[in-house]
Amino acid sequence: MSPANDNVFDELFNLARKAAGQNLEAKFREAFAAQPDRLDDWLRIAEEMKATGKRPQAGQLLSITIEHYERAGTPEQRVKVLSFVAGSLEKDRNHRQALLRALQDLHGARPALELFLDATGLRADTPVDAALAELQRMLDYDVGCYVLHGSGWGVGVIDGIDAIARELAITFEGARRHSMPVRSALETLQPLAGDDWRVMKHFKLAELQQLCEQDPGEVLARMLRQMARPVDVATLRDHLAGPVVPAPQWNKFWSGARKSALQRPDVELQGNRIVWRKVSQVDRMSAMRKVMSARQVLEMANTVLKGVNERGAPDPTLMQDLFPVLCEGAQKHAAPEESAPLELLLIADEIAEMYQLPRVVLDGLLAKQMGDERNFFRRLSELGNAKLEKRALDRFRAFAGDTYPERLMALLRVASSRLLDLIVPELLDAGRAVDLRALLNEAMRKFDVQPELLVFARRRVGHPRYAAMFEGIEPRSLVERCLAMGEGLGKAPSPRLRALQRQVAKELTDGGGKEFRALVKSLSLDNARLLKRRIEMLRGLTDHTQAIMMSVFGEVHKELAKKEEILPPHLDPTVIWCSEAGIQKRNAEYEHLINVDLPNIFAAVGRAAAFGDLSENAEYTAALEERSRLTKRAEEMVEELRRAKVIDESLLKEGEVTIGTRVKVRDVSSGELRTFHFLGPWDADLDKGRLDYRAGFAKALMGKKVDEAVTAELGGKQSQWEIVEVTPALKSQ
């Protein structure tokens, strides 16, 4: 809070300490209305009240802030608020569901998030605090993360998800494949950093070889840190000679490593032994000035800041030393494709503001970053840190001056979903509602222009804060567009759009379909019927989601409730009839898909990811699309096999064509006799006269009896057929 409000804050803090419920709530509401964005202060007050043993009351108190942060907060802020409230009010399922949505917004780019959320029990009844602690651990086991299996499997990379078995797919050194549930992974695997020498040896060999040539002392330091003990030259040679350093070049490598080690503050030579020693802060600053990239400076700076946070005490001297190193690192290692220099400058800006440091050089570097508008917008969208994103926008506002709204519109077109939470309210305040509507209408016409804006808009429609943005746009149309964005429109659906489509469907149907029910209630019967028909045509939604939506239509509008009909077996869409042999054949295809095809494509994704820049890696994109297609196919096959039933005698009727019959027919015009077996889709073999009972020719004959004539098309030619004989098909094969 600002100094002018310190007295108010002190009073609130004292009331929280005394757990003075009624007085505290009234004053809390008043203070929050004046300063809604001071989330950390509101959390501290609630934490103090919780410390007095008033956990539910603390949750109720902080719940006052939820509406504001759901409307105007970042996903990170929403997670903070909802974690506290849902953890304090365990029996309130609505807050738990809202927390899940916030986590999906915050971590939506993580491939394994849904798997992690299931494993934590956050969707069930596991206590929220325990589930969130588990989730934080699980995030180190996402796709692309490296791990160590101590039982002999060695170093591995998590390169995919087995969507059917709900397990992580891991490739260990030597191309050994293994899958395991998330909880088993937490118990048996240790996360490793991407620059760990063991990871580089098995998965980034070229990088490690290059590092051995350019900075052999750094290789020694990394190995010593991991081993946590002094090592001798023979041990190092056992690990590196051969695959990393060719044997003929070992002496040259060791000579360079020894010379480099003598100049490093963290490596010490003691005769034949090499020892790692902890780096002092002064040494660390020196080391940060010697590294090769802005990303390395950033990693080392975060280590310093983490230590300060863990100690819980400010360190002005350390921050004054760190500040120029950050500015120097951003300037020295500036590169158009890197977002790390911008992140360094924003951290330096935060330090300068907190400790009142001179900022002439910093402001010049920030202005240079912002002057390259195209790259600045791209870097800003890649930051992934809500606090720094907000700081960047504050600085950009001052830099852009009167042109800020116009430039913000340009940023809006490339903004990440997290940035939209910050940008859209500012544009509305700047009077750009008409421009926002135009961009939203464009997104509704072309899903692939900016699908994140569609999802953002659907979540905000109905909020008074965003009303000007939605003039002339019906909530129903917005929902239809979001639900249809993953349908492909005549081509293979984009995995990104399909994921957003399912995310929207899940949000609508969470909590028994509460949000979707409110939408349907707002529609007339005709509009509800139209929306129902369109949803029935969607292919990308799960059966569970569609079932919830259909039940809501019938509940709100009785006229739309599906009437129970007694259908003949060949018209029943809930069952797939097939012979036992046909079902076994389909099972074998499914087993091959999940045991051979899916593991192969997960491995292909991992190989393609190692080729470099993923944004321009066509092989990686193709592998991801193939993985998505095969995963979807596996889901479809599971659903088909669930509906499958073996054809039995109960389907047969004397002298009548049904599923499971052998039918002899005569072409009336030519007199030709032909015999067909009407069986299941996985039995079909036209050369052997076996037809799927759902095929057009079979449908035309179903229910007909001996001596009846039927007009039906076969092989593209329509003829009249007379039924000569009907017998059981399975007995005659």
Q: Could you tell me the CA-to-CA distances from 569 to 543, 652, 713, 725 in Å, in that order?
A: 21, 11, 22, 21
Range with the poorest average pLDDT among 115-129, 446-460, 517-531: 446-460
Question: Please, what are the domains in the chain?
Answer: 3-108 (1.25.40), 197-262 (no CATH), 576-644 (1.10.287.180), 649-732 (3.10.50.30)
Buried b (16+ CB within 10 A) or exposed e, 84-117: bbbbbbbebeebbbbbbbbbbbbbbebbbbbbbb
**490: pLDDT confidence band, cut at 50, 70 and 90?**
very low
Please give the pLDDT value at position 1: 37
- State pLDDT tens for residues 254-268: 888 888 877 776 677
- Structure token digits, residue 672: 């030709």
Phi/psi for 584 (5° steps) reads: -65, -40
Q: Which residue has the higher pLDDT, 276 or 559?
A: 559
Phi/psi for 417 (5° steps) reads: -60, -35
Judge whether residue 561 has pLDDT over 90: no
Measure the CA–CA gap between 362 and 359, rounded to whole angstroms. Answer: 5
Taking residue 585's Cβ as centre, other Cβ atoms within 10 Å add up to: 15
Judge whether residue 614 has pLDDT over 50: no
**665: pLDDT confidence band, cut at 50, 70 and 90?**
very high
Q: Which residue has the higher pLDDT, 382 or 553?
A: 553
Please give the pLDDT value at position 312: 60
**346: pLDDT confidence band, cut at 50, 70 and 90?**
very high
Torsion angle defined by CA atoms of residues 42, 47, 50 and 51, in that order, rounded to the nearest 10 degrees: -140
Please give the pLDDT value at position 260: 80
Percent of the chain with pLDDT over 90: 19
Mean pLDDT of the chain: 83
**347: pLDDT confidence band, cut at 50, 70 and 90?**
very high
**12: pLDDT confidence band, cut at 50, 70 and 90?**
confident
**732: pLDDT confidence band, cut at 50, 70 and 90?**
very low
Contact yes or no for 182/196 (Cβ under 8 A) = no
Q: What is the average pLDDT across 499-513?
A: 82
Q: Which residue has the higher pLDDT, 14 or 89?
A: 89
Q: What is the average pLDDT across 328-342?
A: 83
Taking residue 342's Cβ as centre, other Cβ atoms within 10 Å add up to: 25
Please give the pLDDT value at position 351: 92
SS3 sequence, 653-716? ECCECCCCEEEEEEECCCCCEEEEEEECCCCCEHHHCEEECCCHHHHHHCCCECCCEEEEEECC
First to last CA, the chain: 84
Quick one: CA dihedral 231, 235, 241, 244, positive or negative? Answer: negative
- Give the list of residues 6+ apart from residue 269 with CB closer than 8 angstroms, or none: 258, 261, 262, 275
Q: Which residue has the higher pLDDT, 384 or 331?
A: 331
Please give the pLDDT value at position 523: 87
Judge whether residue 151 has pLDDT over 80: no
Q: What is the pTM of this model?
A: 0.44
**563: pLDDT confidence band, cut at 50, 70 and 90?**
low
Closest Cα partner for 408 from 456, 370, 443?
Answer: 370
**2: pLDDT confidence band, cut at 50, 70 and 90?**
very low
Judge whether residue 696 has pLDDT over 60: yes
Please give the pLDDT value at position 616: 55
Measure the CA–CA gap between 232 and 270, rounded to whole angstroms. Answer: 10
- State pLDDT tens for residues 624-650: 788 878 877 877 887 787 778 889 888
Q: What is the average pLDDT across 348-360?
A: 90
Please give the pLDDT value at position 677: 94
Judge whether residue 612 has pLDDT over 70: no
Contact yes or no for 89/83 (Cβ under 8 A) = no
